[in-house]
Chains A and B, each alone.
Chain A
Amino acid sequence: MERIGDHAAIGNGRAAALVSRGGSVDWLCWPRFDSPSVFAALVDDAAGRWTLAPTAPFRSERRYLPGTNVLETRFVTASGALTVTDFMPVASPEEQRRLLLPDHELVRLVSCEGGSVELATVFEPRPDYGRERPRLRDAGELGLRAETRSGLLTLRADLPLAIDGAARATGRAVLRAGETRHLSLSYADEWPAILPPLGAPTREALARTVRWWQGWVGQLRYDGPAREAVVRSALALKLLVYAPSGAVVAAATTSLPERVGGELNWDYRFCWLRDAALTVRALFGLGFRDEAEAFVSWLLHSTRLTQPELRVLYDVHGNAPARERTLDHLAGHRGSRPVRVGNGAADQLQLDVYGEVIDAVTHFVRSGGTLDRETQRMLCALGDQVCRSWQGPDEGIWEPRSGRGHNTHSRVLCWTALDRLLELHAKGHLCSAPVELFERSRAAIRRDVEEHAWSARLGSYTARLGGEELDAALLLLAWYGFEDARSERMRATFSRIRERLGARDGLLYRYRSGDSPGEGAFGICSFWGVEVLALGAGSAQEARDTFERLCRFSNDVGLFAEEIDPVTGEALGNFPQAFTHVGLINAALSLEQRLRGEGTLPHAVRSRAELEEAGA
């Protein structure tokens, strides 16, 4: 089984596939990110894959075509070289009106660059996480068909394919320099299938897809360090946007382990409100206004059914995610069991989500958006809910399964929620807010955090009020403007976090406790470290050096998982992970502003009202 970081992702805004360095599609869920899998070899060798590679020993190198999510893998053998181009076609709205296009398609285009190479393909669909072995049928010119319980898979290729008794199809062909073969796998669940012809139309689909991605990424505004990593992160983030609703899923996979061989295997194919503000800031910051607005719109729409209470996570259409269960028939990635689908964190209480959602809406307003009356009422109701609940314990940002506590990060996010509501009110975007109540509660939260979450003995803020543990999420105190990054307390906290949670080259663990023994350094926490430096806790050069060192922990095509093994640099956890790429983008944006000599970010400045209140 190939490792997590040996994969690259392709997608079309509805679903994503992971392709290994060896030319195997090891993960694909259709028709959407959280659907049951068609290929799941990433979590069990017997759970389906689609390989396409030379029959002779080879070495491979790969890249994304510039500015796209089109993957190109070059296989070099003793007799010649093959290039496989993998992509899921996308098209502009105008092209969608003009052309009949399948909803779901994965295209593999293979060409021989030199010499003569024999290639082999093995197609083993095992839908429903490997529980289904569909009967393959040769439908002649219409291709190979596999009627599954959820829909029809059609494989078409311009090389001969044979069905064997093991519910799989195989094919071989010898390609000489300049020769090309095309393979297309499409999926239809609700409609008659669309069967795109092979050959020139396949190459046109590739050209359309390249044009679409390059057109999208052309909107990106960023001129700071490690631009290539930022562009790749934006493309990875876009891969995880569910286009029909604007939701951003946390990752494309389930149950890739945070510790190989361990039990920390979760389903991340849902949307966490916790990620909202950071994601919206990243999208607006890079100039992707449409995506940012669509995401805010999804936030407001999806939370409507549960307001004023907010759930921790939702599916791409704003419904409760499936109940968490384990798939005991799967061996897990490199023996990491169990494999879970659904997510039990949905039932947790995480008070930080109020601050995240309200801060995301504030970013939207700062970027020129306006709020209708219903949204204004909804925001005020969220504020009331915060005033009622901020003093209680919750599970907190890291979703431990070990119970609730008084988490500093959650409390600061409650402060953020009220602070932003007061800002919106002061700017005339919130007509009938109970200003006095919000101000009183905001001041009370600040007092509570400053008195009880600060440990004089440790010289740092602490993970929980009255505790002595550290948590990398405390770095966000500067991000949300609760503390100035240059303040004595923030610098001291950062120093303690580096001392106790730091690994090599700027990597940070999220915490050290019994909740997740043996897990890797946390990607986004490491980038939060850069951001605190960029916001003023360190020099611009230190921030830049740390940032550039961290960017080198991506895999060969620039993708990050949730965590990084500090010893080997290996990717751990679900992949690719939106949160890590959001962290990279936000760190880059703060760094760019710092290098330009621009002032602190608007979100990191205390509101005027509070400054006056504090007598500053």
Chain B
Amino acid sequence: MSVGSWLLWGFVATIVLTTIMSGTQGLRLTRMNLPYMLGTMFTPSRDRAKLLGFAVHLVNGWVFSLLYVAAFEAWGRATWWLGASIGLVHAAFVLTAGMRILPDLHPRMASETHGPTVTRQLEPPGFLALNYGVRTPLSALAAHAVFGAILGAFYRVASG
């Protein structure tokens, strides 16, 4: 495994993913904000949550990119479309299983069945994160596909 290549392109791919998600938020395509959602796991302060969440999101991006890299190494090759394909699977997982279990993991997220409480007030994402806007699945799929495509296009497979 090429550690330097993974660190560099894992970082770049995460930044691009975050930029795309922020852009789709700015264009009012979705209200899903992963750094904010991650940050509010640790603090209720909006400003601190954004900052902390961004750091956690960056580390998460690196960690997830390790799985992509592991797949590339196992296949012995890395191409943009292989990366994009993993990205689509990744996004589908996040949107279905990930978003379903999030209210149970997140200490400040309300549940769809019980509603908000004093400690849990953050709107839950719902199936496919549709609560955050009907275009949320599309935004997430596109962002993760680009994330994977960047890794696939630029990561240098050590065994290749």
Contact = CB atoms under 8 A, between A and B. Distances in A.
Given A139-B112, A189-B31, 19 more contacts: A98-B44, A100-B40, A100-B44, A140-B115, A141-B110, A141-B111, A141-B115, A142-B112, A149-B28, A150-B28, A156-B116, A190-B25, A190-B26, A191-B31, A192-B125, A192-B132, A196-B121, A197-B118, A197-B121
A195 B116 contact: yes
A67 B117 CA distance: 31
B73 interface: no
Interface of B: 25-26, 28, 31-33, 36-37, 40, 43-48, 108, 110-118, 121-125, 131-134
Contact of A100 (B32, B108, B112, B131): B108
B132 A98 contact: no
A151 B121 CA distance: 18
A192 B46 CA distance: 12
Contacts of B108: 100
19 contacts: A96-B46, A97-B43, A97-B47, A100-B40, A140-B113, A141-B110, A141-B114, A141-B116, A142-B124, A143-B115, A149-B28, A151-B31, A154-B123, A190-B26, A192-B36, A192-B123, A192-B132, A193-B31, A195-B116
Contacts of A147: 133-134
Contacts of B47: 97
Given A141-B114, A150-B28, A151-B28, A100 B121 contact: yes
B10 to A, nearest CB: 26
A349 interface: no
Give the dominant DSSP class at B's interface: loop
Contact of A196 (B45, B116, B134): B116
Interface SS of A by simple majority: loop
A201 interface: yes
B32 A96 contact: no
A497 B44 CA distance: 58
A190 B36 CA distance: 10
A29 interface: no
Contacts of A152: 31, 133
Contacts of A188: 31, 123
Contact of B123 (A96, A140, A194): A194
A194 B119 CA distance: 11
Contacts of B31: 151-152, 188-193
B100 to A, nearest CB: 15
A99 interface: yes
A142 B110 contact: yes
A141 B132 CA distance: 16
Interface in A149-201: 149-152, 154, 156, 188-197, 201
Interface of A: 96-101, 139-143, 147, 149-152, 154, 156, 188-197, 201
Contacts of B37: 192
Contacts of A140: 112-113, 115
A192 B33 contact: yes
Closest 6 CB pairs of A and B: A141-B115, A193-B123, A97-B45, A100-B44, A195-B116, A192-B123
A140 B124 CA distance: 13
A99 B44 contact: yes
A100 B114 contact: no
Contacts of B45: 96-98
Contacts of A143: 115
Contact of A195 (B40, B123, B134): B123
Nearest to A143: B115
Contacts of B123: 142, 154, 188, 192-195
A157 B125 CA distance: 21
Nearest to A193: B123
B28 A195 contact: no
A190 B25 CA distance: 6
Given A142-B123, A147-B134, A152-B31, A195 B48 contact: no
Contact of A197 (B25, B113, B115, B125): B115
Contacts of A150: 28
Nearest to B133: A147
A196 B121 CA distance: 6
A142 B28 contact: no
A208 to B, nearest CB: 14
A192 B44 contact: no
Given A100-B40, A100-B121, A197-B121, A190 B33 contact: yes
B103 to A, nearest CB: 11
Nearest to B26: A190
A144 B28 CA distance: 20
Nearest to A196: B121
Contacts of A197: 115-118, 121
Contacts of B131: 139, 142, 192
Nearest to B37: A192
B122 A192 contact: yes
Contacts of A194: 121-123
A196 B122 CA distance: 9
Contacts of A96: 45-46
B58 to A, nearest CB: 19
Contacts of B48: 97
Contacts of B114: 141
B147 to A, nearest CB: 21
A189 B37 CA distance: 15
A317 to B, nearest CB: 15
Q: Name which of B111, B132, B134 has the most chain A CB atoms within 10 A of its CB.
A: B132
Most buried by A among B40, B115, B123: B123
A188 B47 CA distance: 16
B46 to A, nearest CB: 7
A176 B133 CA distance: 40
> Among the interface residues A140, A188, A193, A196, which one has the most CB atoms of the partner chain B within 10 A?
A193
A194 B33 CA distance: 13
A195 B121 contact: yes
Contacts of A149: 28
A152 B131 CA distance: 9
Nearest to A149: B28
A190 B116 CA distance: 20
A189 B121 CA distance: 16
A22 to B, nearest CB: 30
B37 to A, nearest CB: 7
Chain B CB within 10 Å — which of A150, A154, A189 has the most? A189
A105 B134 CA distance: 23
A567 B30 CA distance: 52
Contacts of A98: 44-45
Contacts of A156: 116
